[in-house]
A and B are shown apart, each in its own frame.
Chain A
Amino acid sequence: MVALRFLRALSLVRCSGPGARSPSYRARGIRRAAYACMAASAGPRRAWSRALLRKIRRRPGRGLRRPRAVIRRRRPVGGGDPLEVALRRLVPGGGCMEYCRLLEEAADYVKCLAMQVRLMQTIVDSASHVNSID
């Protein structure tokens, strides 16, 4: 599922401006696409996928925000443990969760990340293989 989304997104990135953009711009676009596909395929049931999609869709410069019905808990968690704080920063949406929830989301996030990395590696390998054939 992720693979389909990602390939579709890749072709979109390619179509947007093939020759005019610098590789770094394209790299950023690809990275965004990778995270978006990962979050989209993980589903809305995961807190990290929702937070990740929110972060991606929230472009800088978009000032007007409609009032949302969902109340997001912003209770400052007493972060005494530096490891826990670091983990909260790494996992998207990890600022407002309890510790147990954080570990659970981290496990799912790690799984999806590993899958995404494998997918991208495969694509790169096959692409470089094609290039080496020519």
Chain B
Amino acid sequence: MYSTQQSEGGVGTSASAGIVSDECLGNTWDSLSVVQSMNFTEANRIASHRDIRLPLDHQLSGLVAGTATLSPSDKGRSHEDMDSFPSSQRHRHNKRKIDSFQNQNVKVEEQHDVLLESVKDPSGKDEKKQKNEISNKNSKGPDASKDDYIHVRAKRGQATNSHSLAERVRREKISERMRLLQDLVPGCNKINGKAMMLDEIINYVQSLQCQVEFLSMKLAAVHPEMTFDLERIVPKDVLQPCYGGSAVLGFSPGMSSFPPHLYASAFQRITQPGTPCVAPTSRDLQQDSLLEVSHLDQHLSPWQNELHIMNPAPCEVATDHIGSFLMAQTP
């Protein structure tokens, strides 16, 4: 679900991206196994590419040596990692891909007055963080990123506990999702509370499901009288399932790069799917259909002539209407 490439500043290899994107598909991979598998392969590469160490290295090494609590799965490797500071640092960096890991490995000791430095990714979309960076506590605001990876900064006056940082990131994720939902559900711009927003969303989903039921009943009533033949509405070659959006209708090359279906949600921006198609992420549903209609206008008229010829007169209007809707729908 999260792009590794952004967090690694372009260093991320295809292997890691592949692994994480697979994980993001909702497979029930053990997060531990994922990170462990990419840990050692990535460690050297990342360390060699980046200047990871910060000026306060010695403090971190002291911390790392001092942390007693490690997750049980790490114990096998913890000893060898504790030996050399750079390797343990690498180990930590790679561990931060997954939220559940964030609280486990290193406990930031607050007596040392350390602050986890967080610099947001320049694109502003990535939510991964690396937690072990230490900086001066009194510095406020995000620095210009000296390095390419993402860390979370606890602002002045906020708790620096790793738990609360993870919670804060989780809360930000949730609020971002809620904002997206707000855009989808009509009439939710004024509502500011999370609970009321959820209520609206639930009502909307229930109303949509009721509408589907109602419309299906209506269709069942209307259906026997409706005699349309699919082959007459749409030429045969469009009927072939084409997930690549190929030049079936003689589309311009730009069109064929559309996502296979119109339901490419905004989240796919972040998920970095492994599909060859590039999703036009900035467009929403209506824009997609509008664009396609505008492209298809030139193609529609010869088809309409075809339809006029082939169809009996009463069905003409219906098939034209459905046909135009279909044109708007098909990629």
Q: Which residues of A contact B (CB under 8 A)?
A: 1-4, 7-8, 10-11, 13-14, 18-19, 23-24, 26-31, 34-35, 41-43, 45, 47, 70-73, 83-84, 86-87, 90-91, 99-101, 103-104, 106-117, 119-131, 133-134
Instruction: Say whether A127 contacts B222, CB under 8 Å.
Output: yes
A73 to B217: give the CA distance in the assembly, Å.
36
Instruction: Say whether A90 contacts B205, CB under 8 Å.
Output: yes
Number of chain B residues whose Cβ lies closer than 8 Å to a Cβ of chain A: 66
Q: Which residues of B contact A73 (CB under 8 A)?
A: 28
Given A14-B224, A72-B28, A113-B205, does the pair A4, B239 have CB atoms closer than 8 Å? yes
**Distance (whole angstroms) from the CB of A69 to the closest CB of chain B:** 11
**Any A CB within 8 A of the CB of B70:** no
Q: Which residues of B contact A45 (CB under 8 A)?
A: 25, 273
A123 to B265: give the CA distance in the assembly, Å.
25
Instruction: Say whether B223 contacts A30, CB under 8 Å.
Output: yes
Q: Which residues of A contact B241 (CB under 8 A)?
A: 1
**Distance (whole angstroms) from the CB of B223 to the closest CB of chain A:** 6
A-B contact pairs, 14 of them (CB 8 A): A4-B238, A7-B230, A14-B223, A35-B212, A100-B173, A103-B177, A103-B181, A107-B266, A107-B267, A124-B218, A126-B322, A127-B225, A133-B314, A133-B317
Q: Which residues of B contact A111 (CB under 8 A)?
A: 184, 263, 265, 285
**Any A CB within 8 A of the CB of B278:** no
A109 to B178: give the CA distance in the assembly, Å.
14
**Distance (whole angstroms) from the CB of A129 to the closest CB of chain B:** 6
* Nearest-neighbor residue (CB-CB) of B223 within chain A: A14
Given A3-B326, A83-B199, A108-B265, does the pair A26, B223 have CB atoms closer than 8 Å? yes
Given A4-B326, A121-B215, does the pair A110, B317 have CB atoms closer than 8 Å? no
**Any A CB within 8 A of the CB of B11:** no
A125 to B219: give the CA distance in the assembly, Å.
10
A24 to B208: give the CA distance in the assembly, Å.
20
A47, A99, A117, A133: the one within 8 Å of B26 (CB): A47
